[in-house]
Structure formats: C-alpha cells, structure tokens
Amino acid sequence: MCIAFWTLDSRINCWTWLNLSNLHYTFGMDLIEGIESEIRRLRMIQLEINREILAGKFRIPIHMGFGHETLAVTCVAVLEPNDSIFLTHRNIHFQIALGASLEELENEYLLKSDGLAKGKLGSMNLMNPIKGNIYTSNILGNNLAVALGSGLASTVGNTGGVIWVITGDGAIEEGVFYESLLIASSLGLPIVYVVENNQWSLATNIDQRRIPIDLRKLAASLSIEFSPLHGNNVTEYLSTFRKIRNEVCESMKPQLVEVNLESLGGFITDIGGDSERYINYHAGAIRIEPSDHGLLVNDSSDPIFNISEKPLGK
C-alpha cells in the first residue's frame, strides 16, 4: 500500500512530494500530470532559448538539454530539502527543473546582474545553491571530486541529505570517476551517481572513441547497486529515483544510475570526398523545427512523445 502526493509550491516553483512506502511506488494522476507539465515547461523554455541563440542574442556557449527533460524533472522531483545536486556543463534542463524561469536564464546568459547567478556564472558553471545545486563545473569529472567531499562532509556532520552527482559518458572516462566510486563505496557515502549516457563526447560517439564500459559490472565490482533507465517513462523514472534515494539513506552506500538518452538535435555533415557523417548536437542551437506540441522527434527518445498531446504552454 502506498500513498504518494505532491504539491506545486509556486513561491519556490519546485516539486515536493511524499511517499509513505519504501517498497512499491504508485503515483496519483495529479503527480504525473504535474511532472508532465514540468517536462513541457522545460521544452518550452529551451525552445525559446534556442530561438534566441539562433538570433545571436548570447555571446557564451550554451549546451541544450533537448531529450534530457524527463530525467531532470523526475530526478529533481525526489530531492529532499537536505539533498544537494552537482551538475556539468550541460545543465540547462536541471536548472529549469530546479525552478529557473526563462527570464532568469536569459539574463544569466546575457551576464546581467538580474540573472540566476547575478550574471557571474553564465552557462557552463551555472549553479543555484538555494535550490540545492551547490556546485557545477565545466571541467569534466571535477564535480565528481567535489561531490565526494560533500558526501564525506554530510556523513561527518550527519546532515541526512543525499548527494546527487550528474556526469556524462565522456566524463566517466576521467580517472576521477573510478576513484570516486571506490572511495564512496569504501567510506559508505550517500551519493547517487547519475550517468547521462547520450553516447557522445564532443564529435565522437562511444564506438568511435573507446571500448564500451559495462557500468553494471563496474558497479558490482565495487559493491555498488546499479540501475539502468531508458525510454523516458515518467512513472518508471520517478519510482526508480525514489527507491534509490530511500535505499541510499538506509544503507549509507552510494548507487549508480545509467540513463540512456539522446541529446536531440544531431545533424548530418559533409566530410568531403562525397562523404557524410552524422554528428550529435554538442553546443549552441539545434536546427530542428518542432511541432505545435514541441515534439522534435517522433519516438520515445523525445520526452514530449511520451506525454499527453497538449500544446506547449497549456
């Protein structure tokens, strides 16, 4: 038996919810509809920022999170007040899920004093400590090391919060990823490692740059629980993140989640000699025209495809 419910606190504009069972998770329609409407808000704001990048409004590089919306909204939905979250250069989807408005982001990207971080951080290092995002770094793997220190501090100080650290399939090639897992597991730190696996690191995909890494086996070898997610199913993502949070709190052991997703907006480029090559979107504006519903791709790699067909902004 499980009761889950949510409130949308318009003052802080973030989701809080309670779940009275740590075994099974079911969600009321109001929670799911609220999450879906958040996913639409993420898409709507991103599409506007995208239009503004195309119009030449910003002078800094911005890494969009089209296709990452379900992950960001469901992960943020399970954060509790003492939790903290550590982000990467690609953080716009998390910033919006944490409550940033279009205006706050625009002003930050314009480096204006009324931006989300008073115009001092721009895009790739943007953080929002009031909402629990106490650190963000454009240096690959750097947030892993800082999150480790934070995990140790929370254990020593007994603050009770869980540390969520977001990283990519490129960043996990840094040695600090393995070292962090090893230390977090050895010391019993309450950290959830979330790997956003979009296959790409700049202009190369995993097949082009390295052997595959079996994160389930890596985690098992370090006595870390592993969960895979893919397909942008809101209920499954929520349920998994909630379960992981409860287990991490109870066991005081880290866990690893691999989210397979697509950063939407890839394109075919001419590489000379009558050859073409598909390159995934990395930074700047994508150039796909969305449907009225904000849909970019007609399959479940697009979070909007999975949710009800209400026009954006409604």
Ligand X SMILES: Cc1ncc(C[n+]2csc(CCOP(=O)(O)OP(=O)(O)O)c2C)c(N)n1
Least distance (Å) between residue 232 CB and ligand X: 16
Question: Minimum distance from CB of 201 to ligand X (Å)?
Answer: 4
Which two structure tokens, joined as six digits, stand for 256? 């690893």
Give the shortest CB-46-to-ligand X separation in angstroms: 14
Helix pair 29-54, 69-77: axis angle to 10 deg: 130
How far is it between the farthest Cα atoms of the chain? 63
- The smaller minimum CB distance to ligand X, of residues 137 and 239, is found at 137
* Sign of the C-alpha dihedral computed for residues 199, 203, 208 and 212 taken in this order: negative
DSSP β-bridge partners for residue 4: 19
Cβ contact 229:237 at 8 Å = yes
Whole-angstrom distance, CA of residue 128 vs CA of residue 99: 10
Tokens representing residue 194 in the block: 């979330």
CB of 90 to ligand X, least distance (A): 4
Which CB, 161 or 168, lies closer to ligand X?
168
| For ligand X, the closer CB: 159 or 284 | 284
Q: Cα separation of 310 and 292, whole Å? A: 9
Residues in the chain: 314
What is the binding site for ligand X (CB under 6 A)? Answer: 89-90, 138-140, 168-171, 196, 198, 200-202, 282
Least Cβ distance, residue 87 to ligand X (angstroms): 11
If the CB atoms of residues 100 and 124 are measured against ligand X, the closer one turns out to be 124
Residue for token pair 């796909």: 288
Rounded to a whole number of angstroms, the minimum distance from the CB of residue 139 to ligand X is 5
Q: Which is nearer to ligand X, 24 or 210 (CB)?
A: 210
Backbone angles phi, psi at 279, to 5 degrees: -120, 135
Identify the H or E element spanning 205. Answer: strand 204-205
Q: Which is nearer to ligand X, 80 or 174 (CB)?
A: 174
Nearest residue (CB) to ligand X, 98 versus 259: 259
**Beta carbon of residue 165, minimum distance to ligand X (angstroms, whole number):** 12
Residue 253 DSSP one-character state:
-
